[in-house]
Homo-oligomer: A and B are copies of this chain.
Amino acid sequence: MKNIEEYCKDKNIKLTPVRHKVLELLQNEKSGLGAYRILDLLREAGFNSQPPVAYRALDFLVEHGFVHKIESQNSFVACTDPGVHHSPVFMICKKCESVSEAPTFETASNISDALMATGFNVEQTIIEAEGVCSTCSEQ
Contact = CB atoms under 8 A, between A and B. Distances in A.
Q: How many copies of this chain does the complex contain?
A: 2
A115 B130 contact: no
Chain A interface mostly helix, strand, loop or mixed? mixed
A107 B117 CA distance: 14
B126 A131 contact: no
A91 interface: yes
Nearest to A125: B129
Interface string A105-127: 10100111011001111111111
A103 interface: yes
A126 B121 contact: no
Contacts of A72: 71, 126
A111 B111 CA distance: 10
